[in-house]
Amino acid sequence: MENTESTVRLDEGTRRILIAGEIDENTSTDILQYFLELEKSDGAINIVFLASPGGSWDHGLGLLQLFLNSENYINTFLLGPNSSTSAMLYLAGDSRYISPRSSLMFHYGSLELDDTYKEVINYTELAKKELEEDHLYLSERSNKPPAYWKEMLNKGNVYIDTDRSLELGLAHEIKLPSEKS
């Protein structure tokens, strides 16, 4: 059985938040608390994503808005494979660093609805709008237009290695977090 335990740690000295594992209600609460603590003072905030399978987009979306609207400069670091929600959060960095042998995975999320026709109809317009916003976000964080991301995601899960992340503009540089960053 897969271990889904997640960890979030704060190192105030390096202004670093380490996120390992799934983004869920508990981890998002910890991330929010640590992020708001670091925002009280000036200086870059460093967020390290370590091998995350993704998690709840509902919780991730709130964090994404917080990161994107921060007045502090944000450095994000990617270590190992990071998927879905954590990959989208990684892209919120003003500077995005990636380690060798790391990867990003993007996909259309899954959905659980009651089997009522009315619920499906009601959700369809919202889902369409959210997908268009995701394509635009990926475009803004890369060197590809929204149509590229729509086409790629329509094919299924999209796996992007370190070199391709740099080519697409998703990552800016190969770099590991140090004691100074």
Q: What is the CATH number of the domain that holds 30?
A: 3.90.226.10
79 and 125 in a single domain? The answer is no
Tokens 């009522």 map to which residue? 116
Look at the chain and report how many structural domains it folds into.
2
pTM: 0.90
- The range of the structural domain enclosing residue 19 comes to 1-106+157-181
Across 70-107, b (16+ Cβ under 10 Å) vs e yields bebebbbbbbebbbbbbbbbbbbbebbbbbeebbbbbb
- Reading the chain (181 residues) residue by residue, the pLDDT tens digits are 344 567 999 999 999 999 999 999 999 999 999 999 999 999 999 999 999 999 988 899 999 999 999 999 999 999 999 999 999 999 999 999 999 999 999 998 666 666 677 777 777 778 888 889 999 999 999 999 999 999 999 998 999 999 999 999 999 999 988 766 5
Tell whether 56 and 113 lie within a shared domain.
no
User: Are residue 89 and residue 135 in the same domain, yes or no?
Assistant: no
